[in-house]
Amino acid sequence: MVEGTVAVTGAAGRIGTAVRGALRPEVSRLVLLDRTPLRPEADNEETLTVDLRDETAVESALTGVDRVLHLGGLPDEAPLADLLDANVLGTHHVLEAARRRRISRVVLASSNRLTGFHPAGQLTGPGEPPRPDSLYGVSKVAVEALGRLYADKFGLSVICLRIGSYEQAPREPRHLSTWLSPRDALGYFRAALSAPATTRFATVYAVSANTRRFWTLPGRQELDYTPVDDAEAYAEQIPGAQAPVDPSAPQGGAFATPEFTLRHLRP
């Protein structure tokens, strides 16, 4: 159970919308930030139209907040300048507001794409070095580095969630390894927001309990949540699900191909 005043950035997005409905009955006040205007849907909701690149506006919006779930930013590949502006600078502003306003917990939405060049045959944990599969993955390396810096230097409590493929159900063979079900996503978010204050910094893969998963599940000492869904239940419905996987191929799949990034680079 998450209590107190919780802020959610990127609240108009797919994940933000789901989190909003789940947290609303649990918290005393829910502060929802997005560049897209939102309207309150309950007495305990406050909606604010905020661009995360505006440091003053971010700090003002987070005044009186106990915990922040930072989902805002560009969610996929883009020119590096745009990713640095939205993802890295925006995260810095959230962390700065947390430092200045003495916010007790910041949960950062990281991504599995931060390690997408590790091989598919390797069970990868958060202790492995970053091997981003994209410019987007590079921006998430920087996001986690900022979280670590603010935990080490300023004593903030920061948890980074490397979010898997968030879908209602897996739709392609790669999802059999990377799927994050909506139910498990909410479980991870709740656990990260309500983890003990003694948790100074943690990085975990937020992925369902997929039989074919690429990543380790968190231990209780890292985050007290055990996922319950398994993409394998959908395998018979996915074309190509039984095709053998090259264990040396990148976990990022198509995200790791040159073509995925070249469209955002000069010819």
CATH of the domain at 50: 3.40.50.720
Report the pLDDT value the prediction gives residue 147, as an integer from 0 to 100.
Answer: 98
CB–CB of 147/108 below 8 Å? yes
User: Is 140 inside any structural domain?
Assistant: yes
The closest alpha carbon to 15, from 139, 238, 184, belongs to 184
Per-residue pLDDT of 185-242, as tens digits, reads 999 999 999 999 899 999 999 999 999 999 999 998 899 999 999 999 999 999 999 9
Report the pLDDT value the prediction gives residue 3, as an integer from 0 to 100.
Answer: 85
User: Is 267 inside any structural domain?
Assistant: no
For the chain, what is the domain count? 1
Burial-class residue 143 by CB neighbours within 10 Å (0-12, 13-18, 19+): buried
CB–CB of 108/143 below 8 Å? yes
Range 235-252 average pLDDT: 97
> How is the beta sheet containing 45-49 ordered, strand by strand?
45-49, 29-34, 5-9, 67-70, 105-111, 158-163, 201-206
Report the pLDDT value the prediction gives residue 43, as an integer from 0 to 100.
Answer: 97
CB atoms within 10 A of CB 164: 27
As a three-state string, the secondary structure of the chain is CCCCEEEEECCCCHHHHHHHHHHCCCCCEEEEEECCCCCCCCCCEEEEECCCCCHHHHHHHCCCCCEEEECCCCCCCCCHHHHHHHHHHHHHHHHHHHHHHCCCEEEEEEEHHHHCCCECCCCECCCCCCCCCCHHHHHHHHHHHHHHHHHHHHCCCEEEEEECEECCCCCCCCHHHHEECHHHHHHHHHHHHHCCCCCCEEEEEECCCCCCCCECCCCCCCCCCCCCCCHHHHHHHCCCCCCCCCCCCECCHHHHCHHHHHCCCCC
Tracing tokens 């931060």 back to the chain, one arrives at 114
pTM score, whole prediction: 0.97
Per the structure, the complete domain to which residue 230 belongs is given by 5-262
| Beta strands 45-49; 201-206: pairing state | unpaired
User: Is 244 inside any structural domain?
Assistant: yes
Q: Measured between alpha carbons, how far is 192 from 204 in angstroms, rounded to an integer?
A: 10
Active site amino acids: 136
The whole-chain average pLDDT of the chain stands at: 97
Amino acid at 255: F
Per-residue pLDDT of 168-198, as tens digits, reads 999 999 999 999 999 999 999 999 999 998 9
User: Is 136 inside any structural domain?
Assistant: yes
User: Is 215 inside any structural domain?
Assistant: yes
Residues sharing a CB contact under 8 Å with residue 246, sequence separation 6 or more, in sequence order: 120
β-partners of residue 236 are none
Range 107-119 average pLDDT: 98
User: Is 29 inside any structural domain?
Assistant: yes
